[in-house]
Amino acid sequence: MELERYRYNSAVEAFRDEEYPMLQDSVYLDHAGSTLCSKSLMDAFAKEMTSVLYGNPHSGSSPSQHSSSRIDQVRIRLLDFFRADPEQYDLVFVANATAGVKLVVEGMRSLPEGYVLAYHQACHTSVVGAREEANESICLDDTGVQSWLGGKNPFKPKTCGPPATLFAYSAQSHMDGRRYPLSWTEQLKQCEAQSSSRTLVLLDAASLSATSQLDLSDPRFAADFVVTSLYKIFGFPDLGVLLVRRSAEPVFDRRRYFGGGTVDVVLCGDEQWHAPKSYSLHERLEDGTLPFHSIIAADMAISTHQRLFGSMDRISAHTAYLSRELCRGLHSLRHANGSPVCHIYSDIPDDAAPVEAGPVVCFNLRDSRGLWLGLGEFEKLAILRKMHVRTGGVCSPAALASALELQPWELKRNLSAGIRCGEDSGRFTNKPTGIIRASLGAMNTQSDVSRFLAFVQEFFVEETLRVPAQATPTLKSRFLDNASEMQVKSITVYPIKSCSGFTIPPGVCWEVRPEGLAWDREWCLVHRGSGQALSQKRYPLMALLQPLLLLNENVLRVRYRGSTPKGQPTQVDISLSNNPSDFDVGFRQTSSRVCGENISAQSYLSEEINNFFSESLGVPCMLARFPAGGRGASSRLSKARLQKHQKTEKPPSGQPSPFPGVPSPPESDSEQQVQPGKILLSNESPILMISASSVKMLNQAITESGAPAVEESAFRANVVIEAVPGQCSPPPYSEDSWRRIRIGSHGFKLLGACQRCQMVCVDQTTGERKQEPFVTLAKTRRLNGKVFFGTHMRHEQLDQSAGSVALRPMIQVGDVVVVDDQEEEEEDGVREQENAEGTTLNMD
């Protein structure tokens, strides 16, 4: 056992770099979703495809005949791979497991009395969907199935013409790895004998067969239909199979649709008639041209898989061992106060009572106070550290709702709230809305498991006890004393959302508008295919698009700082005028999505402009403008709000400091928000401000960990403030507690801390993705699972009588910054509506 395990692991370690070079430093634990293809397989396929002439199988030519005979051969080989006797089973090629389910549904619904469906709770969404064609359907948990097997039919008896019954279940849950007994089918067939209607069983083997032997020769095996996906087993080809027990073939006799290749004769005259092919079931069900290249690849896939990994039983033993290690490892992680870090939904391995389970571990993370970690926050870090796992609902609706104890109304509420910027688990009730799933496959090794455990340990285990905050001197006196020593260090606007910034030169006064600094985020690039506004998070090269505001020329000039093919323009000029009739520029109203929000913007028709951006980024896109003053979908509202940790109404009362070592105000539960103001295309607020002193503090932590310091530009702030040279700096992160500041003679209201994502890791000079500063931010500035840096603000008219100066407020570099107020009640605060609680990311 021990030796075999060692052998397998070292064999994989020896060939992994060679066979799976794309894995490099990644830890890939997402096999239940799909596996990866090996280099050997792709090489063998490429060789075959370029050396043998294969034709479309529906003809008499020899290349065509060649394809046909290969297909027949692969069909037999696959039946053999699943140990299915060709006398008893036929194998139908389908696009994926889902297509196999749909084909079964097509057959069932064409039965004279239709069908009723009972599906087990662990079913995949693709199987649950089969209920929509059924006369009646029911979801059964284990007890429900047991009671049915005990003779209690879950459906009400029908008086006339009883429909057929379809029972669908998973051989192995793709959510938590639990396995369900093959004997269910057998037992059900025995019950059927006493019933007047026919019961058929659909077994979903997509998860089970990925890492273990699907064995149709097992005497207990009695399912009528079995679906699975080949890509989950071999990585390639993207194909599924439907295995049909010969005795169940008549289910398809009344299938209505027919496609090319499935019929012998079709009459289209007065008499509309066709003769289905009669020889075999697969001939009648495989509509149109078979994916013959893929089918031929399946042959090579089996050979390569066997050569690399040996048998499915070996894979099964290996992955089961790894998953036990992973599950035990996660289970044993504890915070300093002894509370568990992981809540595991899969069965915890127990040597005393071993259960057979698939290599899938499904869990959620909690902090030391027992609060759930948002999946989004987990994902950001996992992406940075190249830990690839699945998160969310994982297509397992019934089992998920049951594991998380989610009620239908909660699911609906999550849906209506979740359309913003991804999910945010526990927004309402501190209940998770999804799970983290790590699943193991043939090419995983022990080191993948250790690396994943180390990752969870690094970011999610609180290793020191939180110390209660020291009695802080009154915040007011401390910060306000320093306040007069601060000034504006720099001002930056980002005319095109997510592109580089335009730095306002010293000595230039810049206008502050209600919706933000003049010309900030008034344009965006919209993907031609999806209509989404492009973001640096996905397209980091946007950082190389450098805008220049040439106000005297009335032009926004954009240069691309990256490399461009010869002859391609490196810059483009866009008129600043907002009146299309003034210039020869056509606009079209287009709908787009910014951060999950539907907006209506004016997109440019100019090919010169759109081509410039598309070619620079290598993404089909167009420029769109979103000028101020729009209404409805042409306007947006600020979503920034004070975060819990910024509330100062309540005294510290021994609350632990959220950010150890950094002065920070105590928590409060009350959620208040100022009246939302208008914004353009920034993600959530008019102006983003950061403090140089906080950047310095963060850089200290970053350099201590051995990484290079980051530039201030990474945070894409509009306003950076600093200590007046020679004066002492404001305490780092003191801006978290400010409520109002003055810049020069203008008042600003601070709206709340800015939540960050891994986009701060895009190097703004090179467009490269790095790990910092997000990794260190996540360790030092994470609160309630979210990472904060910088603060949102908006201009606030302080003195109505101040005349024209106040009407057109201007700020410039060197303006004195004074903290006016840091802990008063929000006088214009409105109780926040639940749905208005936007998930906050950074400004782009």
Ligand X SMILES: *Cc1c(COP(=O)(O)O)cnc(C)c1O
Dist. CA 81–CA 646, nearest whole Å:
61
Of 37, 123, 139, 395, which is the active-site residue?
Answer: 395
* For ligand X, the closer CB: 102 or 513: 102
CB of 167 to ligand X, least distance (A): 16
Note whether 32 binds ligand X by CB under 6 A: yes
Identify which of 139, 129, 90 has the alpha carbon closest to the alpha carbon of residue 109.
129
Note whether 97 binds ligand X by CB under 6 A: yes
* For ligand X, the closer CB: 172 or 445: 172
Return the structure tokens found at 563: 């490399």
Return the structure tokens found at 713: 């530009």
CB of 234 to ligand X, least distance (A): 13
* For ligand X, the closer CB: 441 or 495: 441
Dist. CA 346–CA 587, nearest whole Å:
54
Kind and range of the H or E run holding 169: strand 164-170
* For ligand X, the closer CB: 34 or 195: 34
Dist. CA 429–CA 416, nearest whole Å:
15
Which residue of 70, 102, 124, 489 would you call a contact of ligand X, by CB under 6 A?
Answer: 124
Q: Which stretch binds ligand X (CB under 6 A): 94-102, 334-342, 433-441, 791-799?
A: 94-102
Q: Which stretch binds ligand X (CB under 6 A): 64-72, 139-147, 200-208, 450-458?
A: 200-208
CB of 780 to ligand X, least distance (A): 39
Note whether 346 binds ligand X by CB under 6 A: no
String marking each residue 643-682 x if it binds ligand X according to CB under 6 A: ----------------------------------------
Q: Which stretch binds ligand X (CB under 6 A): 95-103, 493-501, 741-749, 784-792?
A: 95-103
CB of 9 to ligand X, least distance (A): 25
Dist. CA 596–CA 421, nearest whole Å:
5
CB of 403 to ligand X, least distance (A): 16
- The partner residues of 204 in beta bridges, in order of sequence, read 170, 227
Kind and range of the H or E run holding 188: helix 183-194
Q: Which stretch binds ligand X (CB under 6 A): 93-101, 614-622, 666-674, 730-738?
A: 93-101
Q: Total binding residues for ligand X by CB under 6 A? A: 13
For the question of residue 728 being annotated catalytic, the response is no
Return the structure tokens found at 393: 């609902």
* Greatest distance between any 2 Cα atoms in the chain: 97
End-to-end Cα distance, the chain: 53
Return the structure tokens found at 284: 């009648």
CB of 130 to ligand X, least distance (A): 11
CB of 439 to ligand X, least distance (A): 9
Dist. CA 657–CA 675, nearest whole Å:
29
Return the structure tokens found at 625: 């403008």
Note whether 121 binds ligand X by CB under 6 A: no
203-242 residues in contact with ligand X (CB under 6 A) are: 204, 206-207, 229, 240
CB of 179 to ligand X, least distance (A): 11
Q: Which stretch binds ligand X (CB under 6 A): 41-49, 112-120, 202-210, 781-789?
A: 202-210
Q: Which stretch binds ligand X (CB under 6 A): 2-10, 201-209, 354-362, 701-709?
A: 201-209
Note whether 126 binds ligand X by CB under 6 A: yes
Structure letter (DSSP) for residue 515:
T
239-298 residues in contact with ligand X (CB under 6 A) are: 240
* For ligand X, the closer CB: 126 or 614: 126
The beta strand positions in 333-389, using DSSP E, are: 342-344, 360-365, 387-388
Dist. CA 41–CA 43, nearest whole Å:
5
For β-strands 27-28 and 387-388, DSSP reports them as: parallel
CB of 125 to ligand X, least distance (A): 8
**Alpha-carbon radius of gyration of the chain:** 31
Which residue of 68, 170, 445, 682 would you call a contact of ligand X, by CB under 6 A?
Answer: 170
Q: Is the Cβ–Cβ distance between 296 and 70 less than 8 Å?
A: yes
* For ligand X, the closer CB: 124 or 179: 124
CB of 358 to ligand X, least distance (A): 10
What residues contact 24, with CB distance under 8 A and at least 6 apart? Answer: none
Q: Is the Cβ–Cβ distance between 132 and 183 less than 8 Å?
A: no
Dist. CA 391–CA 399, nearest whole Å:
15
Return the structure tokens found at 812: 């410039």
Note whether 439 binds ligand X by CB under 6 A: no
Identify which of 394, 400, 331 has the alpha carbon closest to the alpha carbon of residue 366.
331
Instruction: Map tokens 């933000």 to a residue.
Output: 516
Q: Which stretch binds ligand X (CB under 6 A): 199-207, 287-295, 559-567, 619-627?
A: 199-207
Which spans in 605-763 are helix H? 607-617, 692-704
Q: Is the Cβ–Cβ distance between 658 and 786 less than 8 Å?
A: no
Contacts 24+ apart (CB under 8 A), 41-45: 41/234, 41/235, 41/236, 41/297, 41/300, 41/301, 41/304, 41/305, 42/236, 44/300, 44/303, 44/304, 45/236, 45/296, 45/297, 45/300
* For ligand X, the closer CB: 129 or 580: 129
Residue 168 is which amino acid? Answer: A
What residues contact 105, with CB distance under 8 A and at least 6 apart? Answer: 130, 133
Dist. CA 626–CA 338, nearest whole Å:
52
CB of 774 to ligand X, least distance (A): 31
CB of 316 to ligand X, least distance (A): 16
* For ligand X, the closer CB: 320 or 688: 320
In degrees, to the nearest 5, what angle opens at C-alpha 552 toward C-alphas 551 and 558?
50
The burial of 826, by beta-carbon neighbours within 10 Å (0-12 exposed, 13-18 middle, 19 or more buried), is given as middle
* For ligand X, the closer CB: 229 or 610: 229
Instruction: Map tokens 């075959």 to a residue.
Output: 48
Note whether 393 binds ligand X by CB under 6 A: no
Which residue of 31, 120, 131, 174 would you call a contact of ligand X, by CB under 6 A?
Answer: 174
The gap from C-alpha 128 to its chain's centroid, in whole angstroms, comes to 22
- The partner residues of 201 in beta bridges, in order of sequence, read 167
Dist. CA 789–CA 756, nearest whole Å:
7
CB of 123 to ligand X, least distance (A): 8
Identify which of 342, 448, 329 has the alpha carbon closest to the alpha carbon of residue 388.
448
Q: Which stretch binds ligand X (CB under 6 A): 91-99, 371-379, 639-647, 676-684?
A: 91-99
* For ligand X, the closer CB: 206 or 679: 206
Q: Which stretch binds ligand X (CB under 6 A): 90-98, 470-478, 518-526, 550-558?
A: 90-98
Task: Report the interface residues with ligand X, using CB under 6 A.
Answer: 32, 96-98, 124, 126, 170, 174, 204, 206-207, 229, 240
Give catalytic residue positions.
Answer: 395
